[in-house]
Structures are given as C-alpha cells and as structure tokens.
Structure 1
C-alpha cells in the first residue's frame, strides 16, 4: 500500500503532490526512532482519511458494543472464511470487517468499515487484527498503535510481529517518499509532515460544529473561513434574526453583533465568539490587513472578566508539562529575537534617557471591548497622573494606540492632562524596541502589558486583563480571583500555543505560532494604497459595515 494512503493529505489545492515518490531524491535526515515516529502518528491520530467523520451507522454500532472488538482486514475473498473461522475461535465477541473488495450483502451480519473515513475510533477499540495483507493501511496503523496482528499467508496462519509491521511501514514512509511543505514548496522531513497533519486534525476538531458565522466583515470573510477548516460550509449571516434556523453553533464577532439578542434567540452554549489573536498580522486590522490568528471561544471571551472563556479555563486548569513549558520558553525567545508584537508595525527608534527610570504607559481605543468590560472606568489621563505622583523623577512615555494615531478609531491622545504629566507622548515608535528599553509598563487592559511580561518588564495593571492576577503583575484594579499562581511559561503556553488558531499569511493554511513569526518577519512592507483606503473608510459614516 502506498505511503500517501497511510499519511493522506486532506483535500486542498495546496496539498496536491505534497507527498511524492522519492525517485532518487536524497531524503532529509531523520533522527527519530521507529517508536518515536509511531508515537507521533498515533498521538496525532493521523493516517487514512482521518478528516472524514466515521459513518453514523458504524459509530452507533461501535457505541453499542462493550469491551474490545476484533477486526478482519481482507483483500482476497478466498481468505475471508478462514479469517472468520480463526477470529471466531479466538474472539467470540463482535467482529469488524475491513473488506472493501467483498460485497456487503455477502456478510451482512458483521459491521463493515470501508476505509473512507477516520479509522482511529475503530482502532481505539480493536485488540487484534486478522489480515491477509499486512500492507493495508488499517493494519499498519493498528500495528503502530500496538495492536496484535495475526496474518494469513498462502493459506497458513502466522503471527506477524506487531513491531515488524510497524517497522516496515515507517521504513516505507522514510525511504520511498518525499515530503514537500505546502507553505513554501521546501523539502520537509517525515516528522514535519506528521506534525502538520496532526495540526490539521487538531484545528479541524476545534472548529467543527459551526453552523453559521455572524458579524464578520466582508473583506475578511475568506480568511476567517480558512481558519474554520472543521466547518468549511458554514454560511455568513447578516442579521441576528437569521440565526434561529441554524443547526450547530453560531460563531459571532462580538463588536459587530448584538450578543445578548443572539443568546436570547439561541441559548448561551450555542453562541461562540470570534476575535483577533494576540500575534495578529503585519499591519492594523483597522487598515484592512487580514488576520493571521484568531480565537474561537466557546464559553466567553478573554477580555470580558464577567464571562470567563476558554482561555480562563486553560489558565485555571490546564496541565502544562515540561515539554510544553520548554516550547513556551523557546517561543518567548523567538518573539524577542523577532521583535514581534500584535501588529508588527515596526517604527523608528526613539531616544530615551539612560539616567532616569523609564515608564511606558499604553493607550487604547475608546470603544475597545476590553476597556468597556474590564477597564473599571479609569481614564488614561488618571493612569498617567498616578504614575507621575508615584514616580516624580521617572521619564514617563505615553503611547496611544496606533489605530487612534492613524485616525481610524477614537481614543485619548492629545488631552492636555496627559501632556502635562508625561515627558513624551509618542505617536510613532517601534513598540518592541520600547518594551526592550523601558524599565516598567503600566496599562489599563492593553495586550501591550502581556507583551511587556514577555520582555521581563514590571507590569502594573489598572483593569482586569486575562494576564493579571496570576502573580506576574502589579495589580492596581479589582483583580479577579485566580485558582493558582502561574509561571510566565505556563501563561504563554496557554495564551499563545493552546488558545489561538494561526494561519500562514500567504496560503491561509493552519500553522503554528513559531511558523507564523517567521512568515510575518518575511512579509513585504504593507501597501500605502490599502492604508489610504482604510482611512477613507474610517471617515465615512458607513465605517461599522467594514470593521
């Protein structure tokens, strides 16, 4: 059986010929053992047509069976009766037939699997596989999962070593096939391809169940659909009243949707929220730059302390093991090396005094939902004034939100009270450079406070953002009750690895945060024409239709 059937790629225009015959091509070096590669495949639950859900009738049969089952994988009809006899003697329980070449009417009493959907729910329940062809995909995947394999060869029964079948399968994957990145056409190792397929499965599972989308601006609908690979046919709605006929959840953009009305119509559990992620793009969303990360929250949303969401649940309860914590530490280092922020705008380097304590205060958009939900009614002028009273000799920098500076959104900026207490009101400057050079950061609920934590800065928080209350910040406001203290690595693992969805900026394919950071660093400068268009849109009375 060919390798692409073992590691089949889901249907997508970028997936064509991404697994090719080796044809003399030199393989990339593989460092993992057979056991490690098998663990990768089994842990990622990839192989076969893993993206297609199990047939409903077969799933119902599986749900009604107690205990383990035995499977018969048969290619030659002449061997089927022998396999059935052997299996019936050793396994008096239910039998699953994997025999696509044999008409279903010939053996109607047995459940059948046609290999045209996800094999893993079945492999989970199988204890032994009886087969006449150890090269079949189902047999190989079962062997990789450690199931017992019993084979018939030339009419005689022999016990095939599970390890042998697994070794042959992985040897074929390593030596007979070449793997090509769907992002940029570069050669990949087998491990990289497995990890990509595992990510695809994870994202498909997390985004399944969306019946419709609401409040998504027209200019970014194509990109949002690229994120939702588990619900590829969910329509876009234009009115809350259309949601009553939707089967499944409605994924809504909070700032463009009457969430309360939607929940009254649908019930809270079937309303999910969609928002920009924390490493969003190389450019502003208000300037019509497509997002490269989003969050799809099934409980609430990260910026609303009154409605704890999936991120809060992760931070409260997720078990962050040593491997994931190490990955988070490496991600922090990559963010600092790349100078990455939410919008990755760049900017000029600003001269700052070296003989004074430097405090950066981040402004926000006036109607930002995190300000409305978790700001506590405190103005930025009050924050700047408090910083001056407490730190009379410090050099205080107030940096308004870039959307406000660009004239795309409203917010505090030119107020005399801010100018009176700040040494510098900085309209333009590289955020990542400032974060590396200041001594402390003060915020209401801005994500810049989280970005400052990544740079090891002392962060004072006046509102209730998701990253406050875990023992990492100086909490000046009404901090939420948290269940446990967190390390920075644990906070980052949940916030940047487990919670958001990421998409490659060029292809729209699912990717990791590490891949996105590299891709954004390689992006060309943003278009001036796009920025001009965004300003015209912002000044029009129809702005809310395009946000």
Structure 2
C-alpha cells in the first residue's frame, strides 16, 4: 500500500512531465513519475488526448488505477495552446467530467454531496458574483472596450472540431447544424448570433459552424467579447457541451443543451439528450459549489502551492486585469530612471514598455504604434494620457528613498488628489454604493487584515511612542508642502504650521500630537516646522502612522493619506482640504466643497474603490501582477525584495529634481 506523502503518478504525456504541470500536480498531492507503475500506483492521462490510450494500456497491463486530468473551469487569460499554464486542475479518479458514459467524481459530488452548508453556498454565490462582475471565464483574454451586439438575439455556441467533450456526447458537425436549425425554428423572428470558441478566434482550431451555414438574420460573432456580456443580451441560449452553457446558468439562463455535459440533468437546463441517472434538482449555487469549489485543485501561481478557489480567483482577476490593460503596450513618460525597471516588470508583460521623453514625443510614438500613454502624477501630458501614482498599500520604505511600490493607481480621467476635475478614483467611489455584497465583504476582509497586521502606506519601522498626556488626543499628520496633493487639493490652510494653528484654535484644551511626514523627517522633501513644540503638545518623531493612530481619538488633516488610514480604523477625521476621501459623508469637511460628490458610500465601499478597484498590485518578490491580499501578506511577513545602499542616491535625486525639467521629474 502507498505510504504517506504524495502519491506516485506515472504519466506518458510530455505536457504532464513539464515543470509547470509537475508543480501543480505536486501541490495537489501527486508525485509525477515516468516509467512503469506498481499496482498501488496511479497512471495519469490528459483527458481524451492522443496520448491517453498509451496510459490506459499501461494501467490495464500493470493493474494500476487510472486518473484523468483536465484544465479547471478557470484556466488562463489565453488558451493553453498559447503557452499559458492552467490555474487549476480537475483530477478525476472515476471518469472524465465531460464524458456521460460513466459517472465522474464531479457527477458523484453533484448527485450525492449534501451541498447544504450555508458557508459553502455563500462562497458559491460570492464566486458567481465576482466572476460576473470582473468578466472572468475559462479564457479571460477579452477586450472590455468592444461594443456588444444590440440585445435581443438567440445565442448559439459553437465549439472546436474534434473536441473531446463533443465526441463524448456523440456530437459532430451535423449536431451543430441541427442545433442551429432548432434555434431558428424556436425563434423564427429573432437574430441568431453564433459565438465561436476562443481557440477558433485565435486561429488554433477550426469550429463546426461556418459562414456558409448561416441564413438570413444570422451572423458569426468571432470578436474577443466576454461571454458574460453576450449572455446579458441573449433572449435564449443553445449549447452542445460548451462550458459557456455552465456560465449561461450562472448568468440566469436556462439554456437548451443538445449534448450531455456535466451541468445538464440537474433541473437547470432544457435537455435534448437527458442523462437518465441524473435525477437530483440543484440550485445555481449548489452547482457552482461542486464544480468550482469542491471538485478542482486550485494552484496559487505566486506561492506555488495548493490554494482555495477564492485565492485562485484573486490571482486570476489580477492577471486578467493586467492583460486587458497592458495588451496594447505602453509608452511611459516622466519616469525617473530608478522607477523604470519596476514599471517594465509590472506593465511590460505583453509588450515591452517604451520610455520616451518629453511627453510630446511619447504621445506621438504611442499614437503611431497604437499603444497607450502613461505619465507619472501631474507631469505635463496630452489629454487622454493615463496618469499613475503610488497606491495606498505601497511598500516597506519611502518612494523618496527609492523603495519600489507594490501598488500603483492608474487614472485615465484625472488625478485622485485634484478635486477640480473628476478622477477614476472619484468615479469608482461614486459607484461603490451599488457594489455587490461579495465585493464589500472582500474589502472588509482586506481592511481587517490591514488592521490586524498593523500595515499602512509605507510601513516604516518606527520608534516607541513617547509618554503622552491624558486628554482628548488629536493627531495632526504633516505633509510635504510642495506636494501636488497640497497644491491642488488644499484649501486656505496650506502649510503644516497653519494646520497646527487651526487645530489649536478649534480645540485649545486638546492634546495635539504632531506627526511629521516621513519624507520631511528624512530630509528628503520640504515641509519642516521650525518649532513644532510651540504648536503641538507632542511631536511624534519616528513614530509609525499605525502606532500614532492607535493612540489618537481623532485626526485633523489637510489632504494627508493618514486621514484615509484613520477612516479604515474608524477614527473621526476632519479635512481642511479636499482629499479623495472627503465629501462622501464619512468625514467632517471644512475645506472647499466638491458638489459632484453626492453618493454616500459606507466605509467598505470606499475601501474597495481605494484599495481594490483603483490600484494595480505587484508582487514585492517577483514584481508580477498580483491581488492586494498577496501584497498584504508579503508586507506583513517582511518577505520583500530589498535594494540596499540607495539612500545617498535618494538624497541626490531630491536635490536635482527641482532643477530638472518637469518631464524628467
């Protein structure tokens, strides 16, 4: 009998022997081997691939059990034939999920598992909501900017010729022609839209249906449109055995199914070829729970280990967003030299980033090559440029000290700290009250994780708090006085000294705690107060933001990000300027009003916009796109890449920045 540890899995397929697949199988509990198995070993085959018969024959001769391996139902941004490894695997000891000839492990789950656990079904409903909201499907390399066809059509889903799932349901080209005919007969006056498979769109494999098969009011849809958007506009859906039938169920349809896929027979489909042994009636959440949470083996591509469905979904969403935003390529302008390596690693995964100055030349090159233009912060740039800024969960160390950011916010509308015009951040906050509950719960978990780990924007190692007087303590965070957030977002109070004086005038009996900005404290940026002890009761030299917030009863600020961090810790915040988090009913606002801000989000909705919706995150270890949850884990554990010896360079950078042309800053 096999002992403890990974089970030996003998394979005869080059793809399964390759390093990415071996790693995923190892994480799932299988040790890949070549050679001949013993009778207590396993033989792994890839679905119904041409090499599968080899493994079947070896297993029969050696008396070994057979295991069928397939891609999970969330696979990769681009098809496997484009070289992308799968996000998860379906490892079935009974059969193949797409083959109705015998029950698979998935079918047994659907038929016999209680599927009545409230927590499991809540996870399933959240998963459906998140996949729909982010447009995630098996292959998620879709163009979100493409216009969807006008609604009201009947959607007919084609598949690739020779597909194993089609053969298993005894399908062929005639089966798809019959499906097309039935769709026309059932809806004689409707438009018919034939959706091609992503591998057909990208030229890897042919489909079953052709232009010559179409009649009047029918058309092929081979554009890289998200299936979710196509399902939204459909009045009916016909599928043979495509995974898109499963997604149609999740989207609220009751699709007509002409084959016998795993999702048919459970009361959620109109079955033209019923599987008689499937008699149970399931809900959408139960179907999803079995197929997406209980059945697959998900793989964390960052930690290279087995993970939950939610962790895999987080990683997949980050990768998909990066692909969609970066696929056209970037021209970057106004980037300091030390930032370029990190910009290249984070945004150049599809096409290498071109760094060009001044911005006029950059804009011309972007237009010529069909790329997007990015500029840093408020640097001069043509209309339409995407501006990038540090995110609010940034690093362990200062940007002025050349510590690379783990998050960058992209804004194609404006600047989040400039209330004079709408920004992408502002638009996200305005829409956030309508967030699905799943997204609000995710934001809450992230914020609670930040609190528990004691994380802030820079996460500097601080000194101990000095003895503090008793009384009502007001934290006043200092700012860099020439920073764009002050220039564009401050009101009448525009200096650290004036801010301290305003707080003292409003609260003469309070204990005022002044925390200088880390860049100012390090001597890298302007904003020092000559004699801060004259305006504050205690000056918190070297004290971290989190430690300062823990002892504060409230916060007064011009536009500091510490005001946002105070909100995350549910401290009252008074704003004398108009930062991105002011004007939404969550702060006391004494600065210039922003009449556009009429929405009233709760804290978790605001946090979602600022920490999830707006920024892009980069693994501090590898530099690759990742979800915020991974950055939280990395910063909390201290597992980050370090670049020592840059302090002197940082000081020189600060000295020469003011003398350089704006496009070089």
Q: Same fold (TM over 0.5)?
A: yes
Residues 200-238 of structure 1: per-residue CA shift (max 9 Å, x gap): 445555667775332223322343355558975553332
Deviates more, 1:67-76 or 1:491-500: 67-76
Secondary structure class of the residue paired with 1:128: strand
Find the counterpart in structure 1 of residue 149 from structure 2.
63
1:345 aligned to 452, 460, 464, which one?
Answer: 460
Q: Deviations over 1:440-465 (max 9, x none)?
A: 33222111122223333333322222
Output the CA distance in 2 between the equivalents of 1:308 and 1:183: 35
- Determine the structure 1 residue equivalent to 2:192: 94
- 3-state SS in 1 of match to 2:256: strand
1:137 to 243, 256, 262: 243
Do the aligned residues in 2 keep the contact of 1:14 with 1:182 (CA within 8 Å)? no
SS in structure 1 of the partner of residue 501 of structure 2:
helix
* Equivalent pairs, count: 524
2:73 touches 2:138 (CA, 8 Å); kept in 1?
yes
Matches within 5 A, 1:496-535: 496-524=611-639, 527-535=643-651
Q: Is the 8 A contact 2:524 2:654 kept in 1?
A: yes
Which position in structure 1 is the counterpart of 2:120? 32
Deviations 1:114-154 (A, max 9, x none): 798754444444523253xx2x434444455434233268x
Match of 2:237 in 1: 128
Q: 1:221 aligns with which of 340, 347, 358?
A: 340
Contact map agreement 2:75 2:86 (CA 8 A) in 1 = no
The residue aligned with 2:470 is: 355
Contact 1:219–1:546 at 8 Å: present in 2 too?
A: no
Distance 1:138 1:424, change over 3 A: closer
1:454-498 deviation line (CA, Å, top 9, x unaligned): 333333322222222334334333333342555434433333233
Quote the offset at 1:353 in angstroms.
2.2
- Find the partner of 2:85 among 16, 21, 37: 16
Cα deviation per residue 1:63-105 (whole Å; 9 max; x = unaligned)? 3785334345465235454444444433444352758355858
Deviation at 1:368, TM superposition (A): 0.5
* Whole-Å separation in 2 of the counterparts to 1:98 and 1:379: 60
> What stretches of structure 1 of length at least 5 have no aligned partner?
263-267
Contact 1:203/1:229 (<8 A) preserved: no
In the TM superposition, 1:393-472 aligns within 5 A as 393-413=509-529, 415-416=530-531, 418-472=532-586
Structure 2 equivalent of residue 273 of structure 1:
387
1:209 to 1:77, Cα distance in 2 relative to 1, 3 A:
closer
* 1:365/1:410 contact within 8 Å kept: yes
Distance in 1 between the 2:414 and 2:657 partners? Answer: 30
Q: Following TM superposition, by how much is the alpha carbon of 1:369 offset from its aligned partner in structure 2, in angstroms?
A: 0.1
Q: 1:373, CA displacement in angstroms?
A: 0.9
Q: CA deviation at 1:528?
A: 4.1
| C-alpha spacing 1:372/1:148, structure 2 compared with 1 (3 Å) | same
Cα separation, 2, equivalents of 1:217 and 1:160: 63
When structure 1 is superposed on structure 2, of 497-506 and 111-120 the one drifting more is 111-120
Equivalence for 2:397: 283
Residues 328 and 489 in structure 1, CA contact (< 8 A), matched pair in contact too: yes
TM-superposed deviation, 1:51: 0.9
Distance of 2:605 and 2:354 partners within structure 1: 36
For residue 135 of structure 2, the aligned residue among 26, 36, 45 is 45
- Once the two structures are superposed, residues 296-315 of structure 1 have per-residue CA deviations (whole angstroms, 9 ceiling, x without a partner) of 11221111121231222333
> Which position in structure 1 is the counterpart of 2:19?
none
Instruction: Give the corresponding residue for 2:375.
Output: 252
What is the CA–CA distance in structure 1 between the aligned matches of 2:506 and 2:183, rounded to whole Å? 79
Aligned-pair CA distance for 1:402: 1.0
Give distance in 2, aligned partners of 1:484 and 1:94: 40
Q: What SS class does the counterpart of residue 156 from structure 2 fall into?
A: strand
Map of 1:151 onto structure 2: 258
Q: CA 1:488–1:160 in 2, change beyond 3 Å: closer, same or farther?
A: same
Instruction: Tell me the TM-score normalised to structure 2 length.
Output: 0.67
Question: 1:389: Cα distance to partner?
Answer: 4.1
Partner of 1:477: 591
Unaligned runs of 5+ in 2: 1-46, 48-68, 94-104, 107-112, 167-171, 198-205, 261-270
How far the C-alpha of 1:343 sits from its partner, in A, is 0.6
**Aligned-residue offset at 1:168:** 8.3
| Alpha-carbon contact 2:70-2:89 (below 8 Å) kept | no
1:344 CA displacement: 0.8
Q: CA deviation at 1:541?
A: 6.2
Work out whether 1:4 is the aligned partner of 2:127.
no
Superimposed CA distance per residue, residues 228-265 of structure 1 (whole angstroms, 9 cap, x where no aligned partner): 5897555333212221352465322134x224xx2xxx
Whole-Å Cα distance in 1 between the matches of residues 454 and 432 of structure 2?
A: 28
Comparing both chains, which one has the higher relative contact order based on Cα–Cα distances under 8 Å and sequence gaps of 6 or more?
1
SS of the counterpart of 2:519?
Answer: helix
